[in-house]
A and B are shown apart, each in its own frame.
Chain A
Amino acid sequence: MNAPLPQRQRPITIAILAMGGEGGGVLADWIIDLAESNHYLAQFTSVPGVAQRTGATIYYLEIYPRAGIVDATHEPVLALMPVPGDVDIVIASELMEAGRAIQRGLITPDRTTLIASTNRVFAMTEKIAMADGRVDPDKLIEACGTAAKVMHAFDMAAIAEATGSVISAVLFGATAGAGVLPFPRQAFESAIKRGGKGIQASLAAFTAGFEATAVGATTVKTPAVNQPPPTLDGQDSDETPTNGVVHRPIPAQLLQETDKFPAGARAIARAGIERTADYQGLSYARLYLDRLAPVASADKDGRLIGETARQLALGMAYEDTIRVAELKIRPSRFARVREEVRVNDGQILEIAEFMHPRTQEIADTLPAPLGRFILRTGWVRSLMDRMTRKGRVVKTSSLRGFLLLYMVAAFKPLRPRSLRYQAENAYLEEWLATVQRTAATHYDLAIEVAAARNLVKGYGDTHERGRARFETLMALLPSLSQRPDGAAQLASLRKAANNDDTGVALDAAIAAMKESVAA
């Protein structure tokens, strides 16, 4: 009875998901200019506001061919926000933002071409975790592939970096390469040229993005950054501190001793030997292996020895002032800093360290009787406390700073007589004994006991807090070994201990566990 409406041209709908300040607006401006210069009407809008401050932001565009207009009084009515299920192109500047587009229903299998950069910009919740709070990127990529009709996803941030440009230019190139907009490549490039800022770099990034998409690459390797060989003075040098210097080799026989361990644990034990040898010489590495031996004989499937080897190495190579000083002045470290902060030829680099050794750390490093004297003698301690109240900035690239740390590192031979060494060794022996004892009756629980040692790490307050929590967990062992799910319980308690600074989660988890025993 009623005539249905004639089939009409529909607008092309484009959603850009980005984070505030990333250049999503620049990308939108290019698309607008591209469309308007090629006989299309274009509309673009966004919700800037405070979301601009690093928050997730959506830019939305619609373009419509002028040829699709039937009479001048009826111009297309373009929407100001994306409708789920009605988006042709989703451009995401980061992987989690692509995931957000799926959550919002913007990516659908019947029509959406997804152009996404797979790089991660971690959310605050991922970064503030006390251990590893990162989400699983493979899951996100998998979901994108499932939800989209066509997907072009690769690390565009790396390309932007390599071409000295911004991610929006790579995204623009990828959009052109995907062939989803009815404009030739030259039209895209003209829009960049009309934009007027950083044209060369933008075009290079555009080209890289275009080509990566056009060849159908789903992942693009990060181009190696060609750094000049590191030198200290910023001048070309025929000799570099790292290259050409032979370190003292660790005897092969020592490393081969790991062959007797199950395959899964070998690499870890080998790394453990390297770490302990580097830390305090070959005899220390020998001690490491000797300590592992009884655990190895209690091992059933490689898990126990693997975890113990890992934690023992980390425990034996604890960070004291000597170790920190040693690591800071190594040539390999200077080279790493140069690379990380991207020092070019002709620039000079200066490095300053932020250190805050306190009385405890200093006493720890001294021979045990002296260390104890300082800690126990009121006036000495308070004098030292006063002297160490403020942190120090040590300029390692200056002679004075370098020599200071060189001197501290030179205490290394005295370390085995230090207060801290004695304390750490006592702790480690006790923990190893607990692992062995537990393994005899509760194998899985013993693996968790080994893993729990990981709570003890770091310096100062972090270290003290970790040790206290480790001891809290160890005190629960008698009751945990009574439970069939003891290992799983200890694992979840360890997770709770890593949940927050205050220990609220751990207290709650312990209370919940005790309740479940009572019940």
Chain B
Amino acid sequence: MAERSFKEEVEKLRLGAGEEFRGEGILAITKALLESGVSYVAGYQGAPISHLMDVLADANDILEDLGVHFENSANEATAAATLAASVNYPLRGAVTFKSVVGVNVASDALSNLASGGVTGGALVIIGEDYGEGSSIMQERVHPFAQKSQIWLLDPRPNLPSIVNAVKKGFELSEISNTPVMLEVRIRACHVHGRFETSDNVRPSYTLRDAMENPRRQTDRIVLPPASYLHEKEKIEKRWPAAVKFIEDNKLNEFFDGDLIDIGIVMQGGMYNTTMRALELVGLADSLGHSRVPLYVMNVTYPLIDRELIRFAEGKRAILIVEEGQPEFLEQAINTIFRRADVQTRIEGKGMLPMAGEYTGGVVRDGVKAFARAYRPETISDAPPSNEGAVRIAAAVKAIENNVHARPPSFCTGCPERPIFTALKLVERELGTHHVSCDIGCHLFSILPPFNIGATTMGYGLGGAGAAAFNTKSDKRAISFVGDGGFWHNGLTSSIGNAVFNKSDNVTVIVDNGYTSATGGQDILSSYADNAIRKTHNSIEKAVRGVGVEWVRTLTHTYDVAGMRDTLREALTTKAKGPKVIVAQSECMLNKQRRERPLVNKAIKDGNRVVRERFGVDPDTCTGDHSCIRLSGCPSLTVAPNPDPLRTEPVTKVINSCVGCGLCGEVAHAAVLCPSFYRASIVNNPSGWDRFKAKARGAVIGFLQRRIARRQYAAA
């Protein structure tokens, strides 16, 4: 079960012609797919398109009604390969994954798909995760589109434009026999907006039709001599067809302005930011009227030479607003202008930064620099109010060193935390080891308080990242792989590889039942039942299946001592071959989401329910915070020391504590102070509970009064 439920929102997918849809970009894309008569959809989750996968899963009934098949792909390569259904048959298909990391994995299938070309429309929806808050390397998808000749759409970030791009994308794909990528930036994926809906369309040709009447065209398969023909076809047939369609359908947009000797060329996705920048320097209003003429490229590959040349006509200079590097558009436009001998000056990365997110402030400064260079009279350079600047400077100075970074971290009660606590304890005995990390929540181990991990090479590649450290040594390398990464490709890339190469290293598979970092989607080994998928497939069996002999599965990661002892054994055993520890406990975020309503209901219904949480006695707490350094739980914080003699803040457990038990285990395993206590709160106690409490209370109360009487205190 995914972290976020769209059960209510998916009803919007049933809206018909002329109605207004209000909601998130992701949901609008799904609606557009249904309005386009798509036959199948597949993908692999990852921000910002995790919600697209969640929406599709929650909308499975609606999809089935329309005869649309939906797959949770094993990985992005699987998703891309799924588009093979559109090669021989007039089936529209769409797949989705996370920007460059997904495309990296998918690129083998994408190259093959693009080479042979498609019959039915094939759409690859890319959730672009670039800039602030991004969790991945900063690279562009653009060159993947170029090298494989896949058309790249980058629509304006409003719902009507995105919906239109989906529909036109399918048509473009069919007319040019080329797959199409639709790039949607993270904020556009999550933007709340509206658009006018059309009726959903049932695919006229179905998957069943294709399966029962199979077709094949060997010239669509990448094998000489067809592969050479494909390349010729790409240039001679598919490219011109695409250019014509894009021009005829006006996929790129021209906006007039009265400053006709300058202009701005931009990626469609940069439109809103650029308009706001123009507004802020006084060259546009908030209703989309710009004084500077604009050419908005909703298609960023291929470029339409004629349109660019037409736009440049009579202009002294244009500014290209192109986010990311290298500056592929700027280079290409320079080439186009040189070939056509257009003398218009091209500004771009000279006035805007080469790298980094084009935020509002950045684009405002770039646009201002451009206007100042070519139409200085249009911008007022009134200096900002001195008093304001002084106040801001004073405020910034006052908070110097008082604002700390707040990176994401393990959630309250996270079952992955104790694994790293145990590793820290093992390191106290055996020294530090080389640790290779993977992608997933467990990667937070690299941050304080754990500071564990040296590299991460990609999803499922934790073990692979330690492959070279396979030589005689007194220490073994340790790698981490999540259950998500394990099924994505880690079984072969990390585990199978270690077996075949006779590695002695240790791999910890963090099995929390979901792909948690992407939003808690189910995978093969999920413990929960899933109505439309087969879960409950054992990781240990799979690992043994590829030949690992030393496997330990721990089903309670909070047992720090057990975890520590298993890690120690794995690091010191004389057994040959890879050592694999499957560390298994359910993602607390998902567990709480599932259980909390049930618990609350049980309490309301008068059933006996015991809730546990932890606490710290401030009078025995040393204020040294070892416990926080070994845990880092968000419910573990500091509070002023109530003792007038001490100044260090004491540790405090706040009420968000879910009683996972890690604090107590750490106190025991690391021999910390005796301050931690576990409080068990019995709701709706039984008669026996009450009798017991009464009896104990009588004796303990008597003794406590005696204790209090003997205690010295100032009168």
Contacts and interface: CB of A to CB of B under 8 A. Distances in A.
Interface in B150-194: 157-158, 185-188, 190-193
B460 to A, nearest CB: 17
Contacts of B711: 247-248, 278, 330
B673 A8 contact: no
A132 B193 CA distance: 46
A356 B671 contact: yes
B693 interface: yes
A47 B135 CA distance: 11
Most buried by B among A96, A102, A354: A354
A134 interface: yes
Nearest to A146: B395
13 contacts: A5-B283, A45-B192, A51-B408, A53-B444, A53-B517, A80-B187, A96-B402, A250-B712, A314-B646, A331-B707, A333-B619, A340-B615, A399-B700
Nearest to A501: B629
A235 B275 CA distance: 66
A107 B284 CA distance: 24
A248 B674 contact: no
Given A52-B408, A80-B187, A249 B714 contact: yes
B332 to A, nearest CB: 26
A330 B704 CA distance: 6
A458 interface: yes
A110 B384 CA distance: 10
Nearest to A137: B402
Contacts of B649: 132, 134
Contacts of B280: 83, 86
Contacts of A231: 697
Given A130-B624, A319-B620, A409-B707, 7 more contacts: A2-B259, A6-B285, A81-B187, A124-B404, A143-B399, A250-B714, A348-B682
Given A250-B712, A351-B677, A43 B360 contact: no
A191 to B, nearest CB: 14
Contacts of B286: 8-11, 64, 68, 76-77
Given A55-B406, A80-B273, A331-B705, A131 B677 contact: no
Interface residues of B, number: 135
B396 A103 contact: yes
A356 B634 contact: no
B679 A341 contact: yes
B699 to A, nearest CB: 6
Nearest to B637: A122
Given A53-B409, A127-B628, A343 B291 contact: no
A42 B674 CA distance: 54
B361 interface: yes
B624 A457 contact: yes
A8 B699 CA distance: 78
A83 B388 contact: no
Interface in A36-63: 36, 42-57, 60
B133 A51 contact: yes
Contacts of B191: 43-45, 80
B638 interface: yes
Top-3 shortest CB links A-B: A391-B668, A83-B360, A458-B622
A406 B712 contact: no
A49 B668 contact: no
Interface string B359-400: 111001000000000000010000001011001101110110
A487 to B, nearest CB: 19
Interface stretch (B60-68, B210-218, B548-556, B683-691): B683-691
A376 interface: no
A76 B32 CA distance: 23
Nearest to A350: B680
A95 to B, nearest CB: 9
Contacts, number: 441
Given A45-B187, A245-B705, A354-B678, A272 B645 contact: yes
A462 B625 CA distance: 10
A391 B667 contact: yes
A43 B632 contact: no
A431 interface: no
B18 interface: no
B606 to A, nearest CB: 11
Nearest to B626: A462
Contact of A78 (B272, B364, B411): B272
B240 interface: no
A282 B711 CA distance: 11
Interface in A362-411: 390-391, 393, 396-399, 402, 406, 409
A324 interface: yes
Given A77-B271, A128-B449, A457 B693 contact: no
A488 interface: no
B290 to A, nearest CB: 9
Given A49-B135, A54-B634, A329-B704, A349 B361 contact: no
A159 B451 CA distance: 36
Nearest to A52: B408
Given A348-B682, A350-B680, A82 B360 contact: yes
B385 A110 contact: yes
B473 interface: no
A3 interface: yes
Contact of B623 (A76, A131, A255): A131
Interface in B258-313: 258-259, 271-273, 275-277, 279-280, 282-289, 291
B406 A56 contact: yes
Interface in B628-682: 628-629, 632, 634, 636-638, 644-649, 655, 663-664, 667-674, 676-682
Nearest to B664: A354
Interface in A227-244: 231-235, 239, 241-242
A136 interface: yes
Contacts of B508: none
Interface string A127-156: 111111011100110111011000000000
A75 B158 CA distance: 11
B411 A54 contact: yes
Given A48-B190, A53-B441, A86-B360, A310 B645 contact: yes
A102 B628 CA distance: 29
Given A2-B291, A96-B403, A458 B624 contact: yes
B544 interface: no
Given A146-B395, A247-B713, A459 B622 contact: yes
A105 interface: yes
Contacts of A353: 674, 676-677
A267 interface: yes
Contacts of B629: 128, 501
A314 B619 CA distance: 12
Contact of A77 (B282, B288, B402): B288
Residue from the set A49, A100, A131 with the largest chain B CB neighbour count within 10 Å:
A49
B401 interface: yes
Interface string A66-97: 00111000111111111111100000000011
Contacts of A341: 613, 615, 655, 679, 681
A457 B641 CA distance: 15
B398 A324 contact: no
B129 interface: yes
Contacts of A285: 712
